[in-house]
Amino acid sequence: MDAASLALAEENAALKAELAVARAKASEDTALIAQQKLRIALLERQVYGQKSERSARLVDQLALAFEEAEASATEDELAAEKAVAHTTTVRAFTRKRPDRNTFPDHLPRERVVIEAPTTCACCGGKRLRKLGEEVTRTLETQPRQWKVIETVREKFTCRDCEKISQAPAPFHAIPRGWAGPSLLAMIVFEKFGQHQPLNRQAERYALEGVPIALSTMADAVGSVCAALAPIRRLVEKHVMAAERLHGDDTTVPVLAAGKTDTGRCWVYVRDDKPFGGAGAPAAMFYYSRNRRGEHPRAHLANYAGILQADAYDGYGKLYEAGRRPGPIREAACWTHARRPFFAMADIEENARRKAAGKKEIPLSPIAIEVVRRIDALFEIERSINGKSAAQRLAVRQERSRPLVEDLQTYMREQAARLSRGHDLVKAINYILKRWAAFTLFLEDGRVCMSNNAAERGLRGIALGRKSWLFCGSDRGGERAAAMYSLIATCKMNGVDPQTWLADVLARIAGHPAHRLEELLPWNWTPGTKAISAQGAA
């Protein structure tokens, strides 16, 4: 190759390297912008609450955009490194990365020491002395390991009386004890906590070299639900002893003969933290084949207190004055009431539609004003969250009551100017007809303005429907509701559900019945043995 060709090749390599570096820098900037947008959205939700009814989806979209931008930036950085390696005139590019805190202190350390040199790389001398060391840390995981535990009970015979002596059999979480507590916990949590049907689990286990029949796994699920039934009843007792409950329901497809029916899954959440209560948070789920009012009446037959729920007619008889064992006071949800107004006041959605060239949604100045006033009430609520009921009530009387009274006057004035069939009038009447329920929070510091606690409880079911498609039967729906109750309660108390399940299943068969409360998620402390060594009764 002559000098001219060599120079041209070098110039071409330099241009390619410069282009690769420029592309890498641009990708880095794009990833940084995406990261900052995601941080801003998360901080806005944390500080101001849900700015939009679609804010959760927007955060997910921003997270996905950041993931893609970050991956693209890394690819472009590596491409730039390769391009720069072929030239001596272009400066290398290295991205600035934040310090990663991916090595928690509780993780075990495995020290791998690379064999040290025995001779000097420069002169070949053998008189080497250790000066120090450099440590590179890498986070690693091991694939799931399967094993068979053989529990041996030796038999001894007495040479004096010929009687046989043997250690008592260990307790097992399920009859015949074919599966250990950790495996049972994994199967159950995957099915009800991660929404992975048993047939998908069976396929994955078979690929790992451990084929388990679907019928065997289903039998284990039934046994686990039966074993945990006493714990579920204690959770139910705790939830129904609450001063205030959040209630809601959602649809659950149910497999029927030649078709799919629509069942319901009901949830009642106890969460005393907003008013400084000492009771542990917990959730109770129930299943029904339909949405008749008889179901919530049966669920709350022994409850008396405050119920925060939507305006479902089936709750009506619960609020009757002469009800026994006592009246239930209705507390309405301002978030639910705000939604129809927000649909006519979403300025941000209109801006997105305009940018995309789509038809804009007609916005209503009245709806915008109502949303602004309701948001002002929620702003006050955020400032008193976690304080005592008396403190919350004092602030509401001073700051919230005037705003609520002004809002009522404003809505009545605007409704009088509009036609009866107008969507705004329907949304306004929804609030005004239930004014006592909507203003109960001004009379009782324990009441929240929203029913978000119950809606959060149902979120997992809404996500799970995409995976498991439907319940196999009514009994299956009841089992699912029971396990949802335990798993959701664990999460609400900051406990890993699978770890809790494994430990409780290992202990519950030999645990004294009068001390079962020790196994409740908010009282639970991990045990020391996987299988009880006590004798079977």
pLDDT for the residue 381: 95
Residue 425: what residue type?
Answer: V
The Cβ of residue 523 has, within 10 Å, a number of other Cβ atoms equal to 13
- Whole-model pTM: value is 0.79
pLDDT for the residue 57: 63
- Rounded Cα distance between 246 and 292, Å, is 19
Q: Which helix (H) or strand (E) is 405 found in, with range?
A: helix 401-417
pLDDT for the residue 437: 96
Give the residue from 483, 466, 468 showing the smallest Cα distance to 287: 483
pLDDT tens digit at each of 537 positions of the chain: 678 888 888 888 888 888 888 888 888 888 888 888 888 887 877 666 554 445 666 676 777 677 777 777 877 887 888 888 888 788 887 777 666 556 778 888 888 888 888 888 888 888 888 888 888 777 777 778 899 888 888 988 888 888 988 888 877 777 667 888 999 999 999 999 988 888 889 999 999 899 988 888 888 888 898 899 999 999 999 999 999 999 999 988 776 666 667 889 999 999 999 998 889 999 999 999 999 999 999 999 999 999 999 989 999 999 998 888 888 999 999 999 999 998 888 777 777 776 777 777 778 899 999 999 999 999 999 999 999 999 999 999 999 999 999 999 999 999 999 998 888 999 999 999 999 999 999 999 999 999 999 988 888 787 666 665 556 678 888 888 999 999 999 999 999 999 999 999 999 888 899 999 999 999 999 864 443 333 333
Q: Give me the sheet containing 305-308, strands edge to edge.
A: 282-288, 259-270, 244-256, 305-308, 328-331
- Rounded Cα distance between 133 and 121, Å, is 17
The answer to whether residues 529 and 511 touch, using CB atoms and an 8 Å cutoff, is no
Strand 305-308 vs strand 282-288: parallel, antiparallel, or unpaired?
A: unpaired
Nearest-Å Rg of the Cα atoms of the chain is 31
Q: What is the largest CA-CA distance in the chain?
A: 106
